Amino acid sequence: MIDYKKAEQAKKLLDESGVDYVLAYAKENGYTAGQVQGNALKVVNCIVAAMQAVGKLIRDKHGDKTAVATLSSITMKALKLIYKDSDKE
């Protein structure tokens, strides 16, 4: 069973630790939560490492073309969300 309270505890501990981090998780209902803390350049390295891990999993199972397409899609989704949020302001 998934314990989302523990995920919130992890976020609190990471905040208290002062480390640079990226934390994200998805719930069964499609809701996603994300939190970022730290120096922007260090956080970018965390995000790149996560994308590399995802890309490797996809590449190993589906090949280079699918991995590249998926990583490009992730980037475009993030940009759309950024601009969607800025349109509300």
Q: Does residue 2 sit within a domain? A: no
Q: Does residue 3 sit within a domain? A: no
**Taking a C-beta distance cutoff of 8 angstroms, is the pair 51, 74 a contact?**
yes
- Which of the four pLDDT bands, split at 50, 70 and 90, describes residue 85? low
Least confident span in 8-22, 57-71, 75-89: 75-89
Give the range of the structural domain holding residue 46, as residue numbers without chain letter: 10-85
- List of residues 6+ apart from 68 with CB closer than 8 A: 55
Closest CA to 55 of 43, 42, 44, 66: 66
Calculate the average pLDDT of the chain: 89
Q: Does residue 49 sit within a domain? A: yes
- Which of the four pLDDT bands, split at 50, 70 and 90, describes residue 67? very high
pLDDT for 33 equals: 81
* Domains held by the chain: number: 1
